[in-house]
Chains A and B, each alone.
Chain A
Amino acid sequence: MNINLTIIGQAISFAIFVMICMKYIWPPITGALAERKKKIADGLDAADRAQRDLELAQEKAVADMRKSKEEAAAVIEQANKRANQIVDEAKEKAREEAARLVTAAKAEIDQEANRARETLRADVAALVVAGAEKILEASVDANAHAQLVEKLAAEL
């Protein structure tokens, strides 16, 4: 157990190893560690953010779906309303058309009846005149007695 130069030799090699460690070993390793720590933290952050984004997207999707459902319901309701309206309008139109047709038919019927009546009246007048001629056996002046015949015909 002699103290000798070894003590200095050991101190020198110690100093050299410490310097090498300080210069070339410690910084890269701790640098890599710090960088990895940062990467992991970033990764966790990103995962959190993605989770939040997912939740937001889900909420948005639900809201969108509800909105579209409401819109669809509104559209359907509107369509129903419009359909009812169309049916009502069609009914109304049909009714009007029917009424018009009835009126027209009635008018025609009246017209026909009138015409028939006129014809009948003319025929009756002619018949009356012919009858009268026969009865009288004489020629009656149609012109002279027209007024009388007319009056007769009108009474028919």
Chain B
Amino acid sequence: MASSGDTLTSSEYISHHLTNLTFGYHEGTDSWRFVDTSHGIMPEDFGFWAIHVDTMLWSIGLGLFFIWLFKKVANAATSGVPGSVQNFVESIVEFVDDNVNSIFHYKNALIAPLALTIFIWVFLMNLMDLVPVDWVPFIAQEMGVGYMKMVPTTDPNATLGMAFSVFFLIVYYSIKQKGVGGFLAELSFMPLGKWFLPFNLFLEVVGLLAKPISLALRLFGNMYAGEMIFILIAMLPFWAQWMLSVPWALFHILVITLQAFIFMVLTIVYLAMAHDDH
């Protein structure tokens, strides 16, 4: 159970685990500071101009790990007999490449690297879910850091940040392929023809915005729920936890891979749709 929690209640334990290490300008105390719920500095008091330090650290760290690993292989990549790491990386690259080729039929040098980055990065961030929920927060607390949420994809900021980047690309490529007029026409004259323009526009804009939102919230929701269940399991007596945590972790291996894959595939699909001329 909770590491430092002699007097910690269940709800305090849960909310502690769900609080990001937020840093920002706190209006109530008129100072730049970290979140500290025990002293009434609540995360929701910070407003927009705050940052989740743990989310950023873990996501950038994992991103750097991805870059480091793949860069190492890329530097040493030969057409000869591949080593085991090279083989592993190449099989991932080929898997992503196959997916991109089967969905996306235009010439665009960005899509495949984008898909690879999404797949590996999201997978790595999701993978942090399998680290026992108390370990890292405990270590952080011992080091004097009050909060440490180590799964960036359980932070909607992370998933929305990626999804809106994808959304930006959708709009960019829509306009690039069809021109501003073409893009607006697509929004206005589908699906019911020009006499229903306001209706069409409403429908299409909602559909367009739903893409990044659903992309982000699907990933966030799945990971948040998974994390939540791990936290709840962690509140059981220690000798009973394995009965639930082991099956859930095994199942979660599937979920984290699947969610990373879905995020990647949907990104490719959306960008392919952006390239499609109706």
Contacts and interface: CB of A to CB of B under 8 A. Distances in A.
B155 A6 contact: yes
B161 A6 contact: yes
Contacts of A17: 63, 66-67, 117, 121
A69 interface: no
B199 to A, nearest CB: 30
Interface string A1-45: 111111111110111011011101111111111011011000000
Contacts of B109: 22
Interface stretch (B71-79, B126-134, B251-259): B71-79
A25 B56 contact: no
A6 B93 contact: no
Interface string B47-82: 111111001100110010011001101110111101
Contacts, number: 132
A5 B75 CA distance: 35
B51 to A, nearest CB: 4
B113 interface: yes
A18 B114 contact: yes
B160 interface: yes
Given A25-B116, A28-B77, A4 B161 contact: no
Contacts of A36: 79-80, 82
Interface residues of B, number: 52
B44 interface: yes
Interface string B78-117: 1110100000011001100100000000000110111011
Contacts of A9: 51, 56, 157, 161
A12 B263 CA distance: 18
B93 A33 contact: yes
Interface string B159-170: 011101100000
Of listed B43, B112, B117, B160, residue having the most chain A CB within 10 A: B117
Interface of A: 1-11, 13-15, 17-18, 20-22, 24-33, 35-36, 38-39
Interface of B: 20, 22, 24, 43-44, 46-52, 55-56, 59-60, 63, 66-67, 70-71, 73-75, 77-80, 82, 89-90, 93-94, 97, 109-110, 112-114, 116-117, 121, 152, 155-158, 160-162, 164-165
* Top 7 A-B pairs, shortest CB-CB distance: A10-B161, A6-B157, A35-B79, A32-B77, A22-B113, A28-B74, A36-B79
Given A10-B157, A25-B74, A33-B94, 20 more contacts: A3-B156, A4-B48, A5-B49, A6-B56, A8-B161, A9-B51, A10-B55, A10-B152, A10-B158, A11-B165, A14-B162, A17-B63, A21-B113, A22-B113, A25-B70, A25-B116, A26-B113, A26-B116, A30-B93, A33-B90
